Structure 1
Amino acid sequence: MPTMDLWSNAANLQLRQLFGSAMASLLLLDVPTRPIYVCSPWISDFIVFENRFGEFNQLVPIADDDRNIRFSDCLRQLACLHDVRIMSRRTEVTLTFLRNPRLAEDGVKARLADDDLHEKGLLTPIFYFEGSMNITYSGVHRNKEKILYHAGSDPDVAKRMALAYLELDRRWKQLEK
């Protein structure tokens, strides 16, 4: 299925499982290609993988905690090979997330936009999440969200992702000023 239309709610594990599976696939991508964009007005840290038995140690060796692998750990690991770019607003939630010194130390780049930024998405060379979900614990675990997940080589998906890259590359350059 090249595009998945997903309505989530707090009792629905589908979004969390899809997000974790997509992140695992991305972490296996070991050839640098296009940047990875995290675009959301609010970004916070949350557990992506429960790692009680060490099953994700090889996937995210940079993780600080053996029992849980957080979103920040995934971004730090991805930054070892890829250009990871965060675009967000100057909200307390996002600023708290960005205060993690390991993000910048490991090469994760961030630019803050004006309060009119409202776009939400995670764009990567192999998939694209877009919709109402902020990239936060509440967005992934609690809120009722409407998400589109695009992946695969379908021409419509490739076109949608290419257009998203054009727009996010443009916005990234605008925020440089």
Structure 2
Amino acid sequence: MIRTLRTGAKTGLSVDSILSAALMAEMISPSRELWLVSPWITDVRVIDNRHGSFDALFGDVPPSSWRLSDALLWIAGAGSHVYVVTRPDSHNEAFLRRIEGAELDTLLVRRDPDVHEKTLCGQEWLLTGSMNYTVRGMAKNDESVTYKVGGPDAGQARLDLARRWRSGS
């Protein structure tokens, strides 16, 4: 399955439902590796549970919403190796402090001043395009985002990302 969205204020489309579905699927059945690569990242809301639709997933005290850091920490805590690659920019620091503060061995952050790619990739799926994981990227800017499930693209992306950033080079 391949779906391309042109998101933004002008189109009225957003990536919210695709992103939340992909992250909840990861929370239920974590990939061996999950990659988030984006030059700019903020702790955006990624799961809206205000109506209790996902209470069964979250347990006895379900949150009303989850931020990106909450989802990544849950996934890393479930044993997935979560890799976050972003620029060493003050814009990213609050988000990075939150995830690095958890001190999980399964979560690795790389800061690369030259990163410009925007990809979120699990075992069998890939979300890639021009969108940064920020409020502007997800809700205001005109962006093109492609979501692919199945096929070789996710595997190839994970190999390429690992070659570039897993070893810290």
Unaligned stretches of 5+ residues in structure 2: none
2:71 to 65, 69, 74: 74
3-state SS in 2 of match to 1:125: coil
Query: Shift of residue 163 of structure 1?
Result: 1.6
Normalising to structure 2: TM-score of the pair? 0.85
2:140 to 139, 142, 150: 142
49-58 vs 76-85, which moves further: 49-58
Query: Partner letter of residue 75 of structure 1?
Result: L
Query: Partner letter of residue 77 of structure 1?
Result: W
1:30-88 CA distances to partner (integer Å, 9 max, x unpaired)? 5xx43100001011101112222444344345x9x822211111001101220111011
Tell me the number of residue pairs that the alignment of Structure 1 and Structure 2 aligns: 166
3-state SS in 1 of match to 2:16: helix
Q: Give the root-mean-square deviation of aligned CA atoms.
A: 2.4
Percent identity of paired positions between Structure 1 and Structure 2: 30
How far, CA to CA, are the matches of 1:165 and 1:57 in structure 2? Answer: 31
1:84-135 CA distances to partner (integer Å, 9 max, x unpaired)? 110111011212211115653344221111x221111001113101110111
Normalising to structure 1: TM-score of the pair? 0.82
Query: Partner letter of residue 37 of structure 1?
Result: W
Query: Partner letter of residue 77 of structure 2?
Result: C
Equivalent position of 2:15 in the other structure? 15
Query: Partner letter of residue 29 of structure 1?
Result: S
Unaligned stretches of 5+ residues in structure 1: 153-157
How far, CA to CA, are the matches of 2:101 and 2:119 in structure 1? Answer: 19
How far, CA to CA, are the matches of 2:120 and 2:128 in structure 1? Answer: 7
